[in-house]
Amino acid sequence: MIERLAEIYAEFERQGAEDPLLETLRFADLVSGGALRRADLSILGEEPDLAEIVRQRTEGRPLEYILGVAPFLGELLECSEGALIPREETELLTLTCLGFLEQQAEAGVKAPKIIELGTGSGNIAVLLALKTGNSEIYASDISEEAVGVAASNVERCGVADRVTLLCGDMFEPFRGKGLEGTTDIVVCNPPYIPSTSVDKLDSQIIDHEPRVALDAGAYGMDIFRRLITGAPEFLRPGGMLAFEIGAGQEKIVARLFRKAGDAYGPVEQIDDGTEIRVLTVIRT
């Protein structure tokens, strides 16, 4: 949507509109059902230092970190350098989990258990809690800073009674909590960028966002391998493993599933209209 608005602005400018920016903003407000006019500017503070905001942005700092918030599935969440910025493409992973939970509810599952690895700012865990109302969610991250950001969002959204936050590597924090063999969903938005490619990312990403949330090792497969081999210990039969992948990684990840033998059923690939973004499998 943002890229399309840039195109609209360019067209207003090309055709000589008196104020192409104002025309573009009016256009965006209309097609969004008046969302711009209802925007809450109180997050800027009573007397925002607009010059400082613009200065930091022109120096490459992401706007989400400058303002301290980021949207995710309609919720405005706290955002800081301790965790990766929640991204629109990850909404597909969250919606995939919600769709599975709806199916489980129809099948009589009343209080599903969910494990999220690498929670970052807690956006997936928080939204799953908000959208279901009856789920029991355990979310972890290897970064204490990220867990701190997630804790703020859990409190901010009032879901502390159903989201338990832990700090540690992969599945280790979940052991001994009664989750082995009883979990309905294991979900993860892992780092999937090969180490050699991380430094080629846009400077506003690599200079500000945590590298640990981006770097997936020499071939970008480290976390996928550990995720696929570790999840069966926790998933109940019929439970789902769901995770996000990078562009073109579906074939190599499929090989990892084949090595897992009969632990899983067929892999389902879910695209966002342009490329495959999410893989899901059911525990056999």
Shared-domain flag, residues 126 and 240:
yes
CATH of the domain at 214: 3.40.50.150
pLDDT single digits (tens) 61-83: 999 999 999 999 999 999 999 99
124 & 23 share domain: no
The verdict on 114 and 10 lying in the same domain is: no
- Edge to edge, the sheet with strand 183-188 lists 163-167, 136-141, 113-117, 183-188, 235-244, 276-282, 268-271
In a domain, 79, yes or no: no
Q: Residue 34 pLDDT more than 70?
A: yes
Same domain for 127 and 201, yes or no, is yes
| 77 occurs within a structural domain | no
- 3-state SS class at 195: helix
**Residue 3: per-residue pLDDT:** 86
Give residue-wise pLDDT tens across range 158-201: 999 999 999 999 999 999 999 999 999 999 998 877 776 766 77
Same-domain pairing of 131 and 228 = yes
Regarding whether 95 and 7 lie in a shared domain, the answer is: no
Q: Is 208 a residue whose pLDDT tops 90?
A: no
Domain around 25:
1-39
With beta carbons less than 8 A apart as the criterion, state whether 267 and 281 touch.
Answer: yes
Indicate if 93 and 153 belong to the same structural domain. Answer: yes
Residues 160 and 226 in one domain: yes
CA distance 78 to 33: 25
Name the strand (E) or helix (H) holding 271. Answer: strand 268-271
Q: Are residues 14 and 127 in the same domain?
A: no
Give the pLDDT confidence score for residue 213 in this predicted structure: 66
pLDDT at residue 206 tops 80 = no
pLDDT band at 218 (very low <50, low <70, confident <90, very high): low
Give the separation between CA 111 and CA 101, rounded to whole angstroms: 10
On whether residue 169 sits in a domain, the answer given is: yes
Residue 68 lies in a domain: no
Q: Please determine, for residue 216, whether its predicted confidence score (pLDDT) is greater than 70.
A: no
Residues 111-141: pLDDT tens digits? 999 999 999 999 999 999 999 989 999 999 9
Identify any residues that bridge with 283 across adjacent strands, giving them in sequence order: 264
Residue 236 pLDDT exceeds 90: yes
Same structural domain for residues 3 and 110?
no
Mean pLDDT within 206-217: 71
Q: What dihedral do alpha carbons 204, 206, 207, 212 form, nearest 10°?
A: 140
Any domain includes 54: no
Calculate the average pLDDT of the chain: 91
Q: Say if residue 250 is in the same domain as residue 131.
A: yes
Question: Residue 42 pLDDT > 90, yes or no?
Answer: no
3-class SS at 71?
Answer: strand
Residue 135: predicted pLDDT: 95
Residues 200 and 92 placed together within one structural domain of the fold: yes
pLDDT of residue 1: 73
pLDDT digits over 238-252, tens only? 999 999 998 888 988
Domain count, the chain: 2
